[in-house]
Amino acid sequence: MQQPTLFGHEGQPAETVDVARLILHALGDFQARGKVLAGRELPLDRLRGALRRAADSLGVRELDDERAAAALQALGANVRRVPSFVAKHPFRVTVPADLAERARLFIQKNETRSDVPE
């Protein structure tokens, strides 16, 4: 039996999961922690923790900045690149209210599904 180690866990490649699902999970988690998402310009760095938790929850590797930005943009977020000397993760993200609501409902639906005993 192989036991996980602190630094050895890599998870599956992110290609094995629907990236949109991972992003919705991350945005929903961000809001579930009481943070305001809709209509605010946030540095991608503020969303990295939620993206990491979503990847861990789904058992996949975390998305890099480029893939996360592309996926957010594909879902309807406004993503703006800033110079790399401004920030370590050089993107600013503005999530519209409809995408924020969709993510909130997505995380609620998944939480209630996981609360049901089998």
Rounded to whole angstroms, the Cα distance separating 49 from 30 reads 8
- Residue numbers of the domain that contains 85: 16-111
* 110 band by pLDDT with thresholds 50, 70 and 90: confident
How many structural domains is the chain composed of?
A: 1
Q: Is residue 118 part of a domain?
A: no
Q: Is residue 63 part of a domain?
A: yes
Q: Is residue 82 part of a domain?
A: yes
What pLDDT score was predicted for residue 118?
46
Give me the percent of the chain exceeding a pLDDT of 90: 70
Q: Is residue 2 part of a domain?
A: no
Q: Is residue 5 part of a domain?
A: no
CA distances from 27 to 48, 83, 96 (A): 10, 24, 11
What pLDDT score was predicted for residue 33?
94
CA gyration radius, the chain: 15
pTM for the full predicted model: 0.80
Q: Is residue 39 part of a domain?
A: yes
Q: Is residue 49 part of a domain?
A: yes
**How many Cα neighbours within 13 Å face the side chain of 29?**
19
pLDDT over 60 at 3, yes or no: no
CATH number for the domain harbouring residue 39: 1.10.10
Q: Is residue 7 part of a domain?
A: no
